[in-house]
C-alpha cells in the first residue's frame, strides 16, 4: 500500500481513505475505514470514465451483480454510489495477492492448492449461476488468494442468463482473450458453461504457470481457443482429466461448477482450506501484508485521527455550496506528532545535515526494534497422514507493538529522501555520482529497493503494454540490479535482466537485456533503463526503439 498523494481523495462516502492499494486501467483501489472501524477496499473509477454513460451502465451492473452474489468465496459489496460524480464501490478488504501475481512471483501452485482453488471457485460459480447470473470474466487477475481461501472478484460484465441486451457495441467482445469460452468468442448464447471453461483455463494456469492457450496477439489467442486443444503441460491424473473436461469445446460436455467442486473436494472447499491450502512462501507473503496493515493501525492509534481542511465527499464547500457526492477532496492534513516521552532515544543527526535515522543497521544510532511491528512467520507445508485432508500449513504470526516510533512513522515517509545516502539531495560540487556513507557497501539507495508494479505504455502513451513488475535489490555498479517482468494484456510474459550502470542524485541508470528462456516474441536487444522517484512511486523509462520506448509509473508492491 502506498500513501495518498496530494491529488488523491481522502474521504469517499462514509469512508476515510488510508492509502492506495493499487491501480489499473479503469480506476484505483484504496484502503479505507468506516466510522465504525471496519476496513474496506474502495474502488474509484478514473474521473474521465464517469463521463461515459456506457461505462456507468457497466459499473452499475457490476455493483448490482456483486450485491446479489455476496456469498462464500466472493468479496461482498458493502456500499456503493454508481451515480456519484466519480462512481465508487466499497467491498470487504481481502489481504492476499491475485493469482496472476502469485504465479508470476512464485511459479505454479502445488496440486493441493490447485484443488482447493478449484473447489472454492466452483462453489462460488455455482452460487452465481443459481442467481441467474454469468460472471463472464473469470481469469487469474480476478482471483485473490487469502489465508481463508480463494475469492472471486469483479462482476463488472456479469449479466442475467435470460437477458438479451448487451452492454457493448455491436461486434465488441466482452471478456479476456485466452480465458474466454469458444461460444463467447463466436457470439453464441452464453450460459454458465462459459464460466466453467474459464475456470478450466484458470486452473491450468495455476497448475502449470502458463495459460493453456498461449498466443502473441488477440487474434491468435481467439483462434486457438476456438480451434485448438489446450496445452496442459505437467498436469496429470484426475486433475488433468477434470481441467480437460472444463475446456471441452462443446458447452454441453462440460461439468457443472458444483460438480467441479465436488470432484475436487468431496467434503467441501472449506475442508481443504481449513487444512491449510497455500504453500509456505505465500502464507508468509499474505501474513506480511497483514502486518503492514496493522502497522498502519498502530500509527493511527498513536497519532490520533488525521485532520481535514474540509469534507471531501457529501459535505459543503467553504462558501456553503453542497459538494457533489464522490468528488475528490483535498489531501490529508496530518496532526502534529505527540511529544515523545523523556526516556525515548532519538538518533543524533549525522554530519550536521539534520537527517533522522530510522531503524536498520548503520547510520550512527537508531530506534529500538520494539518501535515497529515485528513479524515472525513459521510456515510449513506437510502432507497429513490421516483423514485425507491434503496438506496442512501452520502459520504463526507474532506481532509486537511498542509506541516509541509509532507516532512518527507516517511522517518518516516524507523525510526519507533527506536521509544521507538516499539521493534526496545533490552532492557537493554538482557531481551526478550518488553520495554514500563511508560504511555503505552498496551504491543503490534504499529508496529504490523493493518490488514495484504498475501499468506500462509505449509509443508516446498510445499503446497499452500491460503490467510491469520490477524487482530492485542492492547492487554496486556493474552488478545485477534486478529484473523486470512484463505481463502483457493476454497473460504472456517477458523478463529483462537489469545491470547497474550509474547512480545520480536524481535517478538510477541501468542496462537491460532480455533474459534467457524468454519467448521468441520478446525483444532480446540491450537497452538503457532509467528509474526516477516520483513522490512515493518510481518512473520507469526505456530507450528501446524496437519496443516503442516503454514507460510506466510503478507503485511499491512489497
Q: 233-275, pLDDT tens digit by residue?
A: 888 899 999 999 999 999 999 999 999 999 999 999 999 998 7
Tell me what pLDDT residue 433 has: 38
- Confidence at residue 356, expressed as pLDDT on a 0 to 100 scale: 34
What pLDDT, on a 0 to 100 scale, did the predictor assign at position 489? Answer: 63
Is the CA virtual torsion 468, 471, 472, 478 positive or negative?
Answer: negative
What lies within 8 Å, CB to CB, of 429 at 6+ separation is none
Q: Residue 497 has what pLDDT? A: 95
- Average pLDDT over the chain reads 73
Highest mean pLDDT out of 44-48, 323-327, 480-484: 480-484
Q: At what angle do helices 111-130 and 192-208 cross, to 10 degrees?
A: 170
Place of cell 511499491: 556
Any residues with CB less than 8 A from the CB of 490 and at least 6 apart, and which? 176, 177, 178, 211, 215, 216, 217, 218, 221, 466
Query: Burial letters for 20-36: b for 16+ Cβ neighbours within 10 Å, e otherwise?
Result: bbbbeebbbbbbbbeee
What is the enclosing helix (H) or strand (E) of 453?
Answer: strand 450-458
Can you give the pLDDT at residue 415?
Answer: 31
- Report the pLDDT value the prediction gives residue 538, as an integer from 0 to 100: 93
Percent of the chain residues past pLDDT 90, beyond the cut: 34
Average pLDDT over residues 417-431: 36
Cell of 371: 518501535
The CA distance from 314 to 285, in Å, is: 37
What are 180-193's pLDDT values in tens digits?
899 988 888 889 99
Separation of alpha carbons 53 and 236, rounded Å: 47
Domains of the chain, with CATH numbers? 1-93 (3.30.200.20), 96-162+174-276 (1.10.510.10), 279-304+354-359+369-419 (no CATH), 430-556 (2.40.128.20)
Whole-prediction pTM value?
0.53
pLDDT of residue 278: 93
Q: Average of pLDDT values for 550-556? A: 92
C-alpha–C-alpha distance, residues 480 and 510, integer Å? 9
d(CA 74, CA 53): 27
Q: Which of 81, 137, 195, 496 is catalytic?
A: 137
What pLDDT, on the 0 to 100 scale, is given for residue 254?
A: 97
At residue 442, the pLDDT reads: 56
Is 341 a residue whose pLDDT tops 50? no
551 assigned binding-site residue: no
Out of 45-54, 100-109, 291-300, 316-325, pick the least confident.
316-325
pLDDT for 232 equals 93
pLDDT at 193: 95
Chain segment 526-535, per-residue pLDDT in tens: 999 999 999 8
550 pLDDT more than 70 = yes
Per-residue HEC secondary structure of 59-102 comes to: HHHHHHHHHHHCCCCECCEEEEECCCCCCEEEEECCCCCEHHHH
230 pLDDT exceeds 80? yes
User: pLDDT category, 540, cuts 50, 70, 90?
Assistant: very high
User: Residues with Cβ < 8 Å from 388, sequence gap 6 or more?
Assistant: none
Q: Give the per-residue pLDDT at 338.
A: 44
| Catalytic residue flag (residue 148) | no
CA distances from 515 to 108, 297, 454, 484, 519 (A): 19, 41, 20, 10, 10
For residue 238, what pLDDT is reported? Answer: 92
For 47, the 3-state DSSP assignment is: helix
C-alpha distances out from residue 422 to 65, 269, 417, 443, 449, Å: 48, 48, 6, 10, 11
**pLDDT of the residue at 458:** 82
**Model confidence at 35: pLDDT above 90:** no
CA torsion, ordered 467, 471, 472, 478, to nearest 10 deg: -100
Cα–Cα distance for residue pair 294/95, rounded to 1 Å: 12
Best CA proximity match to 554, nearest among 450, 476, 482, 463 = 450
pLDDT over threshold 70, residue 201: yes
Averaging pLDDT over each range in 101-115, 206-220, 279-293, which range is the top one?
Answer: 101-115
Amino acid at each position: 500500500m502506498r500513501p495518498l498523494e496530494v491529488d488523491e481523495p481522502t474521504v469517499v462516502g462514509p469512508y476515510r481513505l488510508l492509502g492506495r492499494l493499487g491501480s489499473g486501467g479503469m480506476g484505483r483501489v484504496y484502503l479505507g475505514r468506516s466510522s465504525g472501524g471496519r476496513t474496506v477496499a474502495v474502488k474509484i473509477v478514473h474521473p474521465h470514465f464517469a463521463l461515459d454513460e456506457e461505462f456507468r451502465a457497466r459499473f452499475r451492473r457490476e455493483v448490482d451483480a456483486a450485491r446479489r452474489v455476496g456469498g462464500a468465496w466472493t468479496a461482498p459489496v458493502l456500499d456503493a454510489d454508481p451515480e456519484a460524480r466519480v462512481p465508487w464501490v466499497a467491498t470487504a478488504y481481502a489481504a492476499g495477492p491475485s493469482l496472476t501475481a502469485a504465479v508470476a512471483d512464485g511459479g505454479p501452485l502445488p496440486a493441493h492448492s490447485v484443488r482447493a482453488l478449484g473447489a472454492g471457485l466452483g462453489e462460488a460459480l455455482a452460487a452465481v449461476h443459481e442467481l441467474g447470473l454469468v460472471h463472464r470474466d473469470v481469469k487469474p487477475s480476478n482471483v485473490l488468494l487469502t489465508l481463508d481461501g480463494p475469492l472471486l472478484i469483479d462482476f463488472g460484465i456479469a449479466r442475467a442468463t435470460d437477458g438479451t441486451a448487451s452492454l457493448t457495441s455491436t461486434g465488441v467482445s466482452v471478456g479476456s482473450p485466452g480465458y474466454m469460452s469458444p461460444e463467447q468468442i463466436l457470439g453464441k448464447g452464453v450460459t454458465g458453461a462459459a464460466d466453467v471453461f474459464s475456470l478450466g483455463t484458470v486452473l491450468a494456469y495455476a497448475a502449470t504457470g502458463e495459460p493453456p492457450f498461449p498466443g502473441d496477439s488477440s487474434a491468435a489467442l481467439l483462434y486457438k481457443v476456438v480451434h485448438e486443444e489446450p496445452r496442459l503441460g505437467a498436469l496429470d491424473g484426475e486433475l488433468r482429466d477434470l481441467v480437460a473436461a472444463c475446456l471441452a469445446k462443446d458447452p454441453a460436455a462440460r461439468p457443472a461448477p458444483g460438480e467441479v467442486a465436488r470432484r475436487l473436494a468431496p467434503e467441501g472447499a472449506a475442508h481443504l482450506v481449513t487444512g491449510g491450502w497455500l504453500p509456505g512462501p505465500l502464507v508468509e507473503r499474505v501474513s506480511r501484508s497483514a502486518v503492514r496493515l496493522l502497522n498502519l493501525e498502530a500509527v493511527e492509534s498513536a497519532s490520533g485521527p488525521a485532520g481535514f481542511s474540509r469534507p471531501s465527499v457529501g459535505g459543503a464547500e467553504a462558501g456553503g455550496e453542497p459538494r457533489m457526492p464522490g468528488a475528490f477532496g483535498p489531501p490529508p492534513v496530518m496532526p502534529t506528532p505527540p511529544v515523545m516521552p523523556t526516556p525515548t532515544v532519538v538518533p543524533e543527526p549525522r554530519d550536521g545535515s539534520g537527517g533522522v535515522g530510522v531503524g536498520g543497521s548503520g547510520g550512527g544510532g537508531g530506534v529500538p526494534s520494539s518501535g515497529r511491528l515485528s513479524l515472525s512467520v513459521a510456515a510449513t507445508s506437510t502432507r497429513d497422514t490421516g483423514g485425507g485432508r491434503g496438506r496442512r500449513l501452520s502459520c504463526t504470526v507474532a506481532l509486537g507493538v511498542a509506541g516509541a516510533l509509532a507516532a512518527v512513522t507516517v511522517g518518516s515517509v516524507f523525510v526519507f529522501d533527506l536521509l544521507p545516502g538516499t539521493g534526496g539531495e545533490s552532492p557537493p560540487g554538482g557531481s551526478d555520482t550518488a553520495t554514500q556513507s563511508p560504511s555503505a557497501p552498496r551504491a543503490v539507495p534504499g529508496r529504490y529497493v523493493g518490488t514495484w508494479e504498475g501499468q506500462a505504455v509505449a509509443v508516446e502513451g498510445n499503446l497499452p503494454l500491460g503490467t510491469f513488475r520490477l524487482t530492485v535489490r542492492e547492487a554496486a555498479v556493474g552488478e545485477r540490479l534486478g529484473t523486470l517482468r512484463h505481463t502483457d494484456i493476454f497473460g504472456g510474459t517477458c523478463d529483462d535482466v537489469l545491470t547497474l550502470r550509474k547512480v545520480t542524485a536524481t535517478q538510477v541508470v541501468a542496462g537491460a537485456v532480455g533474459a534467457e528462456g524468454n519467448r521468441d516474441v520478446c525483444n532480446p536487444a540491450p537497452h538503457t533503463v532509467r528509474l526516477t522517484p516520483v513522490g512515493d512511486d518510481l518512473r520507469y523509462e526505456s530507450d528501446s526503439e524496437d519496443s516503442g520506448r516503454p514507460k510506466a509509473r510503478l507503485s511499491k508492491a512489497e
